[in-house]
Amino acid sequence: MGIKKEGIKLINEDGLRIDGRKPDELRPIKIEAGVLKRADGSAYIEWGKNKILVGVYGPRELHPRHLQDPTKAKVQCRYDMASFSVIDRKRPGPDRRSIEISKIIGEALENVIFTHQFPRTSIDIYIEVLEANAGTRCAGLTAASVALADAGIPMKDLIAAVSVGKVDGEIVLDLVKEEDNYGEADVPIGYVPRTGEVVLLQMDGDLSYEEFEKALNMGIEACKKIYEMQKDALKRKYVKVATEIVEEVE
Amino acid sequence: MTSEEIVSEIKRDYINRLAEVGRRIDGRAFNEYREIVVEKGVISTAEGSARVRIGGTEVVVGVKMDLGEPFPDTPNMGVLTTSAELGPLASPTFEAGPPDEKAIELARVTDRAIRESGAIDLQRLCIEEGNKVWVLFLDIYVLDYDGNMFDAAEYCALAALLNTTVPASRFDMGDDFKLEVERYPISMTFAKIENSIVVDPSLDEDNIADARLTVSIDEENRIRAMQKGLSGGFTVDEVKKIINTAMELAPKIRKKIVEA
């Protein structure tokens, strides 16, 4: 957590945050499935000011072959931030932060994919952050689940993800950049609604047990809402495809 | 993963036979461009940005600016730096990692069209001669590769520059101001398939092309940059014909990019 500048108030007298949201309110989220032509599955998410594109390839033969697992598919994730996605230009290509995020998102997704159905293959998930404003790993994971489903890859469930934090001593949902920079804690949560499992969890900052519990509950409730938006995105895409097929037949 | 697209012999023969009778696999005429969609200002963290679609090919360009030192041989000029990322989400044949030769060629060809046409007057980006200048990063991200990324990248770069505001106030250098774009170069890429020449090659055409030629034309119909690619060759007449076709088609596309 960054050092808070004196005089910056992140929550006003009415209990509203700098962008006018209530403590447990999500930013506007828009998800679209099947947006790329070449990828086997894809999704685009706009989450507040975050803009993220996800492409999925596979299951396909894994090269080099010595990395193949004869019992299951290898889930490989690459999270990447475009150079212009942040105010101070980021050098293109992976850095330590994006390598770590790629790893934990890949591991979370492996939890919900029936990898044993596709031995010796890889399932590749590419997350491209085009514009960033805090919470990109959660938005990326949320969109990646939709892209995997769009690719027709058998899954236990979708993963919904959101971050919860502490700002001016209060637990708040879905931090924006200023809150992330000057807040006191940040807890990204990835949740599988069908099984009730938490598959992504990180934390930095300073929280009491009670605060953590409150944050986790708030995050899970929000994930359930996000889950509905994910399903809605898939339904919209496939109802459209189904309508086109019916029209062609007629 | 393979790094080359594989086209079946049957498809290759089919495209070649179609070309012999003046037709293309997607039904276009030889000098017919696919639909172009241009959107400007799509990334608010960038100083300027654009998204361009040519058929199924999609590219995003973001401009970032910073203060820096000029090169010693051009002490009174700002610095233009172009990079291209062929991210693995854009095609099953693109691999993650540092830019490979394809990405470097794309960045350099785009850079040349912008730089050599004088689209940006780099002297205007000089703040203090020999000491302090604006550095302009032109970063190209190919998001979906469905053929002819050279033109998509160049149109997108031009559109992003037209959308750029120099962030002077962020660096305590006075008020923000619009970047002046002085020239409007339009690149046009042609592929040679057997003995036919087609504009704006689709993915299949790109994959089986024997030779490729990109020509950049400015608004006064002057040729500002060229790049020939692949192992095949062009006759002199073919090159002349290509330039004439490019001069015919460029104004309509330029209008679309400027007015978007």
Domain hosting residue A82, numbered range: 29-249
Spatial neighbors of B213 by CB under 8 A, at least 6 apart, are: B189, B190, B192, B226, B227, B228, B229, B234, B239, B242
pLDDT digits (tens, 9 = 90+) for A80-123: 999 999 999 999 999 999 999 999 999 999 999 999 999 999 99
Domain membership of residue A4 (yes or no) is: no
Domain membership of residue A80 (yes or no) is: yes
pLDDT beyond 90 at A192: yes
Q: What is the CATH number of the domain that holds B24?
A: 3.30.230.70
Q: How many domains does chain B have?
A: 1
Q: What is the pLDDT of residue B236?
A: 94
Q: What is the mean pLDDT of chain B?
A: 95
Q: What is the pLDDT of residue B2?
A: 45
Is B89 in Cβ contact with A126 (below 8 Å)?
yes
Q: What is the mean pLDDT of chain A?
A: 94
Backbone angles phi, psi at A230, to 5 degrees: -65, -45
Domain membership of residue A19 (yes or no) is: no
Domain membership of residue A15 (yes or no) is: no
Alpha helix (H) residue ranges in chain B: 9-20, 101-116, 149-162, 203-208, 236-259
Backbone angles phi, psi at A78, to 5 degrees: -130, 110
Q: How many domains does chain A have?
A: 1
Backbone angles phi, psi at A74, to 5 degrees: -95, 125
Domain membership of residue A22 (yes or no) is: no
Domain membership of residue A106 (yes or no) is: yes
CA distances from B182 to A245, B117, B185, B216 (A): 49, 9, 10, 15
Return the number of other C-beta atoms located less than 10 Å from residue A96's C-beta: 7
Is A37 in Cβ contact with B87 (below 8 Å)?
no
Nearest residue in A to B48, CA atom: A84
Q: What does the alpha-carbon distance between residue B14 and residue B137 come to, in Å, rounded to a whole number?
A: 43
Q: What is the pLDDT of residue B1?
A: 41
Domain membership of residue B205 (yes or no) is: yes
Domain membership of residue B246 (yes or no) is: yes
Q: What is the pLDDT of residue B103?
A: 96
Dihedral of the alpha carbons of B61, B67, B68, B70, in degrees to the nearest 10: 80
Domain membership of residue A17 (yes or no) is: no
- Which of B45, B98, B170 lies nearest to residue A132, judging by beta carbons? B45
The two three-digit tokens of residue A208, written as one number: 């009491």
Question: For residues A174 and A215, is the Cβ–Cβ distance under 8 A?
Answer: no
Domain membership of residue B227 (yes or no) is: yes
Domain membership of residue A167 (yes or no) is: yes
Domain hosting residue B190, numbered range: 9-259
Is A126 in Cβ contact with B92 (below 8 Å)?
no
Is B91 in Cβ contact with A80 (below 8 Å)?
no
Nearest residue in B to A49, CA atom: B44
Residues (pLDDT < 50) of chain B are 1-2
Q: What is the CATH number of the domain that holds A171?
A: 3.30.230.70
pLDDT digits (tens, 9 = 90+) for B204-255: 999 999 999 999 999 999 999 999 999 899 999 999 999 999 999 999 999 9
Q: What is the pLDDT of residue B4?
A: 67
ipTM: 0.89
Residues in B touching A133 (Cβ below 8 Å): 45
DSSP for A171-200, please give it. EEES--HHHHHHSSEEEEEEEETTTTEEEE
Residues in A touching B92 (Cβ below 8 Å): 38, 57, 60
Residues in A touching B1 (Cβ below 8 Å): 60, 63
Residues in B touching A82 (Cβ below 8 Å): 43, 60, 62, 85, 139, 141
Domain membership of residue B2 (yes or no) is: no
Domain membership of residue B15 (yes or no) is: yes
Domain membership of residue B189 (yes or no) is: yes
pLDDT digits (tens, 9 = 90+) for A15-37: 899 999 999 999 999 999 999 99
Is A57 in Cβ contact with B85 (below 8 Å)?
no
Is A128 in Cβ contact with B143 (below 8 Å)?
yes
Return the bridge partners of A81, or none: A129
Q: What is the CA radius of gyration of chain A?
A: 19
Nearest to B150 by CA among B197, B118, B196, B102: B102
B160-170 burial string, b = 16+ CB within 10 Å, else e? Answer: bbbbbbbbbee
The two three-digit tokens of residue A222, written as one number: 């929000």
Domain membership of residue B3 (yes or no) is: no
Dihedral of the alpha carbons of A10, A12, A14, A19, in degrees to the nearest 10: -50
